[in-house]
Structure 1
Amino acid sequence: MSATENINRIATGVFDKYRSSIPRKAFKQAMAAITAEVGKPDPAPATSSRPIYDLTLLCRASFPATLEADGHPCIVEVTVYRLNAVAVVSFTLDGPETILQHLGLSEADTYITRHEVDDIVTVVHINREEAITWQR
């Protein structure tokens, strides 16, 4: 299945889900503009109006903990992000790998939970480095 077909399939699902709040004509025009850009080389990346993958930080917390497996101290970092439309589609097609790459995290000790609202995710990362003394 081509990228354009995937985009159209997902877009149709989104349209069906939110049919009452999206005018069909505007939706079709937006989808035509997006699919027309798929596969085109980006002539000027700095000034391009092409969609960009992005996450917006909503909140972050961290706390010291102890690993159950070996009793070593660690720091648990919990972050909630709002995904833009490109990131939502990427997450739907590719899973959490693109979020991990974007954040520079590995799959080891990182867990991503998608919420009922399609554009909100929680990323939990266990930092196995020893917690600093004041956090114990």
Structure 2
Amino acid sequence: MNAKAIRQLADVTLDKYRSSIPRKAFEQVIEEIVAGGSEGAGLKYEAALLCRGSFPATLEENGEPCIVEASVYRLNAVAAASFMLDGPEGLLLHLGLSETDTYITKHEIDDLVTVVRILRKEADT
């Protein structure tokens, strides 16, 4: 399939699913397909860590100490589209995290997410 046909198919798909696919992420996927040719070498799920911070806290349910860790990730086009269409499960799997005590917040910018984890035991000093 040539680049022109791929772009026409992409335009039709984007028009059909406009409300559920982030435009920038979708366009990046199409560019990767066109650049990678038929083998699609650029289509990998990636999440780059931008920053991470942690702080001590207290659990409301029982008053026990815990550590809250917040990380901000920039998703590539494949990960952003997957997050919008399928939810956070793919990101959790990619990061090796479980759903227990993990919360993901989507930003207004299509490719940024914040992952907050509650570590139920206080870290050693």
The question of a shared fold, defined as TM-score above 0.5 by the shorter chain, is answered with yes
The answer as to 2:68 corresponding to 1:76 is: yes
Match of 1:130 among 115, 122, 125: 122
8 Å CA contact 1:84–1:119 kept in 2: the answer is yes
Runs of 4+ in 1 over 3 A off after TM superposition: 9-12, 14-18, 29-34
Gapped runs of 5+ residues in structure 2?
1-8
Q: How does 1:4-83 map to 2 (within 5 A)?
A: 8-9=13-14, 13=18, 30=31, 33=34, 49-83=41-75
8 Å CA contact 1:78–1:125 kept in 2: the answer is yes
Match of 2:104 among 95, 112, 122: 112
Gapped runs of 5+ residues in structure 1?
43-47
CA distance in 2, matches of 1:112, 1:60: 14
8 Å CA contact 2:88–2:104 kept in 1: the answer is yes
Match of 1:98 among 55, 70, 90: 90
1:64-119 C-alpha deviation (Å, 9 max, x unpaired): 11111011111100000110000001101110001100111111111100001010
Which has the higher relative contact order, 1 or 2, with Cα contacts under 8 A spaced 6 or more apart? 2
8 Å CA contact 1:77–1:127 kept in 2: the answer is yes
SS at match of 1:92: helix
* One-letter amino acid of the structure 1 residue matched with residue 91 of structure 2: I
Say which one has the larger Rg.
1
User: How much does 1:32 deviate?
Assistant: 7.0
SS at match of 1:101: helix
TM-score w.r.t. the length of structure 1 is 0.66
Q: Percent identity?
A: 52
SS at match of 1:70: coil
**Please, what is the CA RMSD of the aligned residues?**
3.6
